[in-house]
């Protein structure tokens, strides 16, 4: 079948919304994942294993299941949805805010795990040395831990961004496929296939394949540089 090289205005809108969603999700995840990953890397709490399992749950849970429970809890009959309505706030399902919340939850392990690994790899020695130089724990974290964990932050950002761009199940369940509002690249491809517009589906799908390839190449480069630093 011939591939249509030109993308429609609706396709470009879906691409723009996907990039906006991925950028917003990545920024939020880096903020949320930093204290969580630090705690998981250093705590000896008995609930560490449970918290780690909950964080990693999206890795093994079907995205439609996660999307379904988010839809139910955030909907007008759900406890979160009812609480939001009682405070005069709007409902999140089928809105960009709903997509953002679902993306943050679904991509959480892709931000936490690289950061946790980076914090664990550096050990406690650099922080102990900083303490002997009279650096406060906060100063030691900002001036020592964060620079040493930079490869972990790069990996977390790349993985979170790419994973959000490629989402389908959570996005479709929680946001539907509303043009200009919740229609992202993955759901736009689905819509093209349903309409038997295979040329446009090919064009968008090829773009996703190239994007995924670039992500893997970038991750490989980061990992090689990290091994070089450790060596």
Q: Which two tokens stand for residue 146?
A: 């964060």
In a domain, 132, yes or no: yes
**Is the torsion defined by CA of 46, 49, 52, 58 positive or negative?**
negative
Residue 47 confidence class, pLDDT cut points 50, 70, 90: very high
How far is it, in rounded angstroms, from Cα 72 to Cα 208? 30
- Predicted pLDDT at 65: 92
In a domain, 52, yes or no: yes
Beta carbons within 8 Å of 47's beta carbon, 6+ residues apart = none
Which CATH number is 140's domain given? 1.10.3720.10
Q: Quote the number of domains for the chain.
A: 1
pLDDT above 90 coverage of the chain, percent: 42
pTM, two decimals, is: 0.86
Residue 2 confidence class, pLDDT cut points 50, 70, 90: very low
Q: Let me know: does 160 contact 106? Beta carbons within 8 Å.
A: no
The more confident residue out of 136 and 215 is 215
User: 195-223 burial by CB neighbour count: b if 16+ within 10 A, else e?
Assistant: eeeeebbbbbbeeeeeeeeebeebbeebe
pLDDT tens by residue, 98-144: 999 999 999 999 999 999 999 988 877 777 777 777 777 777 788 88
| Domain assignment of residue 98, given as a range | 9-230
């Amino acid at each position: 079948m011939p591939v249509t090289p030109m993308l429609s205005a609706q396709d470009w809108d879906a691409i723009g919304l996907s990039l906006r969603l991925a950028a917003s999700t990545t920024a939020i995840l880096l903020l949320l994942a930093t204290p969580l990953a630090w705690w998981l890397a250093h705590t000896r709490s008995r609930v560490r294993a449970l918290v780690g399992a909950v964080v990693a749950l999206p890795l093994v849970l079907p995205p439609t299941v996660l999307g379904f429970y988010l839809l139910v809890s955030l909907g007008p009959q759900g406890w979160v949805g009812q609480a939001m309505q009682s405070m005069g706030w709007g409902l999140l399902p089928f809105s960009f805010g709903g997509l953002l919340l679902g993306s943050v939850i679904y991509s959480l392990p892709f931000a936490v795990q690289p950061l946790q690994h980076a914090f664990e790899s550096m050990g406690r020695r650099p922080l102990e040395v900083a303490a002997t130089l009279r650096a406060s724990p906060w100063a030691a974290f900002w001036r020592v831990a964060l620079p040493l964990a930079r490869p972990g932050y790069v990996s977390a950002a790349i993985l979170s961004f790419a994973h959000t761009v490629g989402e389908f199940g959570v996005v479709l369940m929680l946001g539907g496929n509303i043009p200009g509002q919740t229609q992202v690249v993955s759901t736009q491809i689905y819509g093209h296939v349903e309409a038997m517009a295979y040329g446009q589906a090919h064009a968008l799908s090829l773009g996703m394949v190239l994007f995924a390839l670039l992500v893997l190449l970038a991750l490989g480069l980061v990992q090689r540089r990290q091994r070089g630093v450790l060596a």
